[in-house]
């Protein structure tokens, strides 16, 4: 494969790589850096690529290896990240002023509940062990098969299945306990609270009912509800959506809060 052809194909995959790395690192700058490093490393090793896997699989393997060495990817958050970051946001006037400015002026400043669901998943998935988080995103959002994830993460089929099963089970339990969209007793109402702030003229309940996962909340099919949640992530490019700038601003805030929180806990 020539470098020209490779570069052309890389550009077709760049968007997915970048969103994957954002979801793993929770950092725009680190995601962009790792995408660039992935390109450089891939060009250096292009002669070793023999098409035994797809180019996308090969590139995700390089990117995942780089991500595993990234300190922000390695950092694990806590299940109640949204409680901690909410408390920090409420005492941070600048955060809300900036967010409102983005909401009023940016073409990518809309607030949509679906976008916030995807954003929330990204934050909470950082409470899983890194391997479990990587496997969930690779399989459920970027649609790799188990056999491809084995190549990407250089592990065994048994371990990929273990990480996937364990990660999914934990995410189901966390959302079941927290998310008011799927459980009336859920303690987190941030989707409707933020919708009230950014879309004051909307009826939050009507907006929630447009989301299949919320409509099916009473079905009791927990696995299916997680699949519907993951489907939302699959349909959203966090850098290109109508809500991208607002959600990225929020993600940067949460990451900074969690970095300070981790330092405090370590002390």
Partner 1 sequence: MSASSIQAPKGKSTTVKSTFNRETTVSIEIKADPAIVWTLLTTASDYPRWNSTVTSIEGNIAHGEKIKLKSILDAKRTFKLTVKEFVPGKRLVWGDGQGNRVYTIESKGYGNLIFTMTEKIGGLMFPMYASMIPPFDETFEKFAADLKRESETITNSK
Nearest distance from residue 88's CB to partner 1, in Å?
27
**Closer by beta carbon to partner 1, 95 or else 163:** 163
Least distance from C-beta 232 to partner 1, angstroms? 21
Task: Report, in Å, the least distance between residue 133 CB and partner 1.
Answer: 15
Contacts of 198 (CB under 8 A, 6+ apart): 99, 100, 103, 111, 246
Rounded to a whole number of angstroms, the minimum distance from the CB of residue 161 to partner 1 is 5
DSSP structure class, residue 141:
I
- How far is the CA of 96 from the CAs of 33, 88, 103, 227, in angstroms? 28, 11, 10, 32
Contacts for 168 with CB less than 8 Å, ≥ 6 apart = 136, 223, 226
Q: Smallest distance, Å, CB 169 to partner 1?
A: 6
CA-to-CA separations, 20 to 26, 47, 229, 234, in angstroms, rounded: 10, 25, 16, 11
Q: Which is nearer to partner 1, 134 or 248 (CB)?
A: 134
Closer of 126 and 255 to partner 1 (Cβ): 126
Q: Which is nearer to partner 1, 104 or 158 (CB)?
A: 158
Residue closer to partner 1 (CB basis): 117 or 174: 174
Tokens 């790589």 -> residue: 17
Per CB under 8 A, residues contacting partner 1 are: 146, 156-159, 161-162, 164-166, 169-170
In this complex, which beta carbon is closest to partner 1, that of residue 234 or of residue 260?
234
Distance from CA of residue 172 to its chain's centroid?
16
Shortest Å, Cβ 185 to partner 1:
21
């Amino acid at each position: 494969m020539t470098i020209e052809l490779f570069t052309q194909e890389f550009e077709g995959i760049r968007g997915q790589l970048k969103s994957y790395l954002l979801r793993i690192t929770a950092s725009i700058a680190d995601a962009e850096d790792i995408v660039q490093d992935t390109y450089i490393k891939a060009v250096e090793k292009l002669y070793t690529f023999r098409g035994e896997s797809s180019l996308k699989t090969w590139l995700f393997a390089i990117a995942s290896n780089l991500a595993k060495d990234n300190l922000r990817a390695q950092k694990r958050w806590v299940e109640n990240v949204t409680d901690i970051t909410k408390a920090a946001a409420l005492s941070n006037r600048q955060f809300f002023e900036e967010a409102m400015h983005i909401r009023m002026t940016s073409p990518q400043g809309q607030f949509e509940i679906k976008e916030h669901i995807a954003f929330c998943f990204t934050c909470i998935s950082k409470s899983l062990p890194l391997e479990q988080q990587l496997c969930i995103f690779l399989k459920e959002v970027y649609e790799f098969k188990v056999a491809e994830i084995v190549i990407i993460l250089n592990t065994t089929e048994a371990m990929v299945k273990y990480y996937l099963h364990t990660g999914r089970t934990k995410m189901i339990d966390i959302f079941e306990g927290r998310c008011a969209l799927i459980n009336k007793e859920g303690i987190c109402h941030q989707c409707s609270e933020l919708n009230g702030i950014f879309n004051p003229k909307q009826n939050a309940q009507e907006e929630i009912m447009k989301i299949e996962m919320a409509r099916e909340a009473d079905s009791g099919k927990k696995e299916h509800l997680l699949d519907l949640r993951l489907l939302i992530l699959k349909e959203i490019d966090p850098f290109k959506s109508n809500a991208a700038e607002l959600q990225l601003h929020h993600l940067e805030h949460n990451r900074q809060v969690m970095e300070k929180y981790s330092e405090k806990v370590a002390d």
